[in-house]
Chains A and B, each alone.
Chain A
């Protein structure tokens, strides 16, 4: 990829970012970020606050200017274009609906400017209101709607001009928990139906996992990993990604060679091979661990003792301490029925199985 030539790329890439950096005084918000987004894809920027995800979104929108780097959208170099010359619709956390205009006028705001006949506009607005499930809201004012409804209108307004790119800046963060879950499903369904290339910024990993085609995990101004939700969850590329997304157990270990690792007095098999003597960390999701009541455990199960049980409704988090494992402790995710059936309780001795393919070895 040559960042300086705005030639149409051969592949299906819709948006290409290369070498994007941004400083705010002494603070390095973005450190040479590169990314390619396909047409029709839903990409989610995920990371803790201050990681640069919102800055990156605002740079794509032209609301901030990158210090260096190029942005190519639909084959056109837009790196230096002002926001008003770019092609996107945007939805903010605060909705940013115009409070003195009716819902109709809000949705029509970008259309009126294009000098379309009144009738065409009215038809388009009605179509969009139907699309977001609020066909009768046209005459109301934003203040009369709930947060979730306002955000649907903001979405309709952003989509009204049929932009090539939809940008969502933490669109669900201001909503209550139930509304958030409902709307994230709606937004995703709408995005897939319209096939509009979409970038969403969020700090909520569940939101990212449930909505994205691909997740871009960011930390301290860098991209840590780009991948599908399953890739990012199942095969985190860095310790940061492993820690940030979902719950995970970390075991300090030393390689014994041949794909085996020593944790205290216990030897574990993993899918990765490292030269003997290398120290490493083993990452293992709580739900991958099998917990078996004493006597029912398979032969290769490791003996352990239950330290505590946290009941969470559908499942329990069972904390166990491995025997001979240098006090290495693990949290296991056990479905409630299994936990009840096996009679798990603090102090009991159990056997735990740690499947080799599920153990991820990171430096």
Chain B
């Protein structure tokens, strides 16, 4: 009797089974839907507001593409497009090779001091982009020590923008190329060596092709960073027009939101293209290394190691000179006339002038961004990866999570004022609050954080949720007892990333602050405008210092976690 491989007549069983959904699953699905709605409101809403504004006139009447026609008929604005593109291309062409050889030295040589070189190379991330512009003004400006090196050319303009942008983008390019080089398979080099391949041939046949996608990806990131950045051209650009500054001028200078929206859309195009190219490359970069690769262990080569050491020393020194000049400027009386040590920029420039409050605003904003942003980003990534069903919502969340990387901060910021300042918007109460700054910053830096969270979650065993269900344990208990502790390093990493970026961000928030929520980076901009270079440098120094502290705390906490509460990791497996 019990050997029935029998199939029943179709009529008896044809009714499609509709599973009963447990309330816990409903809860998860509801939360995922909520994440989707929130992302849509705080990302798509503002972007839609820009689109609407760009086809309206000042009074809100629909004028079709009139604004665009006017824009393209203005030669000065057209020139900005060209300026933006060639400057960004130049920066990309210089930064990427510079970063590639630095990464090459870090991965393929046995030079000493690799950890120090790596740390120095990442320092530009800790400072707002305007800091480098201030430093270059100090070095090469009218009173600059090295002014002669420019041969009469002014640092105010493309030269200054390019130099400052190279400094600011270097660590971003380095990290991407470094990853690509670290992922390459050591066995390829062993095979090549057994075939007696000369070093230069190994470089062109193994190293370069292996890093190809990483290089393109780095180029796209540098390009869009430069195109989107507003702080550098604002400080050192002089009369040289750039799209990001045009938006600022239209919106703040002329209060012409419609034109601002048009320029935003123009700015969106190159960044979007770069983003799409990068997206494709990222996919291939990872597809390339799915097999278990054996890490490459370089051999000692005296001549090569020395050359690489010299190269890295020069680059690292140059980077330190930029950071050092800003710090130095903040501690002396008046560059270059009175170089005696003084805290007056901190005392009079920041504290007595009351500007110091913007530093505390920044700390507060960065703290909220790190805490709430990390919570939201990790939870939504978890729901996305581990919830059953809802393919449409999941697709929407994936798409929404990847869009912010393609949206320049200026565009997002403008969208936020247009959207939230609209009197009919029920969320109008957010306007001019700390909350809106936090929201804009979380959205602005969403994509990278989201990818970090997804990567960490994908590394977990897929069956944790199934096991919990079989043991009758609700999913949220397993989330807090297992998922969060196991992913803690990634969660802390997201928190640090958000904090550091929130401390330096300017483009997304320059339209959104109110007098009581002014941020440090914006204060630098305003002080520079007022000619208070010393105080501006002092503020930049404070930002670097606080971000450094956070990074050190992060490193210590991570180490503590790895050695104490996460013994299971030390044991090697999992």
Q: Which residues of A contact B (CB under 8 A)?
A: 1, 3-4, 11, 13, 18-19, 21, 31-38, 61-63, 65-70, 79-86, 88-90, 92, 94-96, 98-101, 109-110, 113-114, 141-144, 157-158, 160-161, 163, 167, 214, 222-227
Question: Is there an interface contact between B3 and A143, defined as CB atoms closer than 8 Å?
Answer: no
Q: Check B2 against A38 for contact (C-beta < 8 Å).
A: yes
Q: Are B571 and A226 in contact (CB-based, < 8 A)? A: no
Q: With the chains together, A261 CA to B2 CA distance in Å?
A: 34
B-side contacts of A92, CB under 8 Å: 461, 463, 466-467
Query: Are B5 and A80 neighbours in the complex by a CB distance under 8 Å?
Result: no
Q: What's the nearest-Cβ distance from chain B to residue A55, in Å?
A: 14
Judge whether A113 and B13 touch: CB under 8 Å. no
Residue of chain A at shortest CB distance from B6: A34
- Min C-beta distance of B568 to chain A, whole Å: 4
Q: When the two chains form their complex, are residues B568 and A82 in contact, meaning their CB atoms are under 8 A apart? A: no
Q: What sequence of 0s and 1s flags, for each residue 15-40 of chain B, a beta carbon within 8 Å of any chain A beta carbon?
A: 11111111011000000000000000
A234 to chain B, nearest CB (A): 15
Q: Given A19-B12, A141-B567, does the pair A80, B18 have CB atoms closer than 8 Å? A: yes
Say yes or no for B302: interface residue by CB 8 A criterion.
no
If A19-B13, A90-B466 are given as contacts, then 9 extra A-B residue pairs at C-beta distance below 8 Å, sorted by A number, are: A35-B5, A61-B470, A82-B20, A84-B22, A85-B20, A113-B472, A160-B471, A214-B3, A223-B5
- List 30 A-B residue pairs with CB atoms under 8 Å apart, sorted by A's residue number: A19-B8, A33-B7, A37-B2, A65-B17, A69-B13, A70-B13, A80-B19, A81-B20, A82-B19, A82-B22, A84-B469, A85-B20, A85-B22, A89-B471, A94-B462, A96-B464, A99-B573, A101-B482, A109-B473, A110-B473, A141-B567, A141-B568, A142-B573, A143-B569, A143-B573, A158-B470, A161-B471, A223-B5, A224-B5, A226-B5
- Candidates B2, B16, B462, B574; contact of A99 at CB < 8 Å: B574
Q: Using Cβ atoms and an 8 Å threshold, which residues of chain A touch B574? A: 99, 142-143
- Nearest Cβ on chain A to B267's Cβ, whole angstroms: 41
**Chain B residues near A18 (CB, 8 Å)?**
8, 12-13
Bound-complex Cα distance A62 to B1 (A): 26
Could you tell me the distance between the alpha carbons of A227 and B462 in the complex, rounded to whole angstroms? 33
CB pair B25 A69 closer than 8 Å:
no
Closest Cβ–Cβ distance, residue B391 to chain A (whole Å)? 12
Instruction: Tell me whether B572 is interfacial, beta carbon within 8 Å.
Output: yes
Chain A residues within 8 Å of B16, by CB: 67-68
| Complex alpha-carbon distance, A31 and B13, angstroms | 12
Question: In the complex, what residues of B have CB within 8 A of residue A82's CB?
Answer: 19-22, 25, 469
Chain A residues near B477: list those with CB within 8 A.
113
User: Cα distance A163–B469 when bound, in Å?
Assistant: 13
Asked if B486 lies at the interface with its beta carbon under 8 angstroms from chain A, I say yes
Q: Let me know if A19 and B22 touch, CB within 8 A.
A: no
How far, in angstroms, from A101 to B477 measured CA to CA in the complex?
13
Set of chain B residues within 8 Å of A34, measured between Cβ atoms: 4-8
A69 to chain B, nearest CB (A): 5
Partner of A225, one of B5, B7, B12, B25: B5
Interface size of B as a range: 35 or more
Which one, A35, A98, A158, contacts B482 given CB within 8 A?
Answer: A98
A4, A37, A142: the one within 8 Å of B568 (CB): A142
Contact B463 A94 (CB under 8 A): yes
* B536-574 interface code vs A (CB 8 A; 1 in, 0 out): 000000000000000000000000000000111101111
B444 to chain A, nearest CB (A): 32
Q: Are B470 and A100 in contact (CB under 8 A)?
A: no
**Which B residues, 468 to 516, have Cβ-Cβ distances below 8 Å to chain A?**
468-474, 477-478, 481-482, 485-486
Cβ-neighbour of A109 out of B5, B13, B15, B471 (below 8 A): B471
B298-342, CB < 8 A from A: none
Question: Hey, which chain A residues are within 8 Å of B191, CB to CB?
Answer: none
Pick from B462, B464, B466, B566 the residue with the most CB of A within 10 Å.
Answer: B466
Separation of A84 and B465 alpha carbons in the complex (Å): 10
User: A166 → chain B, closest Cβ, in Å?
Assistant: 10
| Known contacts A3-B13, A67-B17, A68-B17; is-contact A62 B3 (Cβ 8 Å) | no
Closest-by-CB residue of B relative to A93 is B463
**Interface residue B149 (Cβ < 8 Å from any Cβ of A):** no
User: Known contacts A34-B8, A35-B5, A82-B20; is A100 also within 8 Å of B471 by CB?
Assistant: no
| A143-B566 contact, Cβ under 8 Å, with A82-B21, A84-B472, A96-B463 | no
Cβ contacts under 8 Å, A157 to chain B: 467, 471
Are the C-beta atoms of A99 and B470 separated by less than 8 Å? Answer: no
**B14 adjacent to chain A (CB < 8 Å):** yes
Asked if A80 contacts B17 (CB within 8 A), the reply is yes
Task: Name the one of B1, B24, B464, B485 contacting A84, with C-beta atoms under 8 angstroms.
Answer: B24
Give Cα distance in the complex from A258 to B568, angstroms.
Answer: 70
CA distance A67 to B569 in the complex (A): 41
Residues of B within 8 A of A67 (CB): 16-17
Taking the closest CB of chain A, its distance from the CB of B448, in whole angstroms, is: 25
Query: In whole Å, how far is B125's beta carbon from the nearest beta carbon of chain A?
Result: 30
Closest to B574 in A: A99
With both beta carbons as reference points, the residue of chain A lying nearest to B14 in the complex is identified as: A68
Q: Is the CB of B22 within 8 A of A94?
A: no
- Ranked nearest first, the 3 interchain pairs of A and B with the lowest CB-CB distance are A110-B471, A19-B13, A141-B568
Residues of A within 8 A of B461 (CB): 92, 94-96
With contact pairs A99-B486, A100-B566 given, residues A11 and B17 touching in the complex (Cβ less than 8 Å): no
Specify the chain B residue showing the minimal Cβ separation from A169: B463
Check if B17 sits within 8 Å of A100, measured CB to CB. no
A143–B20 Cα gap in the complex (Å)?
A: 37
- Distance in angstroms from B114 CB to nearest chain A CB is 29
Chain A min CB distance to B459 (Å): 11
Taking a contact as CB atoms under 8 Å apart, the answer to whether B6 and A61 are in contact is no
Residue on B with the closest CB to A36? Answer: B2
Q: Are A66 and B22 in contact (CB under 8 A)?
A: no
- Give, as a whole number of angstroms, the nearest-CB distance from A101 to chain B: 7
- Of A67, A98, A142, A225, most B-chain CB atoms within 10 Å: A98
Bound CA–CA A98/B22 (angstroms): 24
Instruction: Give Cα distance in the complex from A109 to B470, angstroms.
Output: 11
Contact B473 A35 (CB under 8 A): no
Write the nearest CB–CB distance from A219 to chain B, whole angstroms.
Answer: 11
Q: Which residue of chain A has its CB nearest to the CB of B18?
A: A80
- Picked from A68, A96, A224, the residue with its CB within 8 Å of the CB of B13 is A68
Report chain B residues within 8 Å CB of A19.
7-8, 10, 12-13
Q: Are A141 and B471 in contact (CB under 8 A)?
A: no
* Alpha-carbon gap, A222 to B5, bound state (A): 8
For A31, list chain B residues within 8 Å (CB). 7
Instruction: A11 to B4: give the CA distance in the assembly, Å.
Output: 14
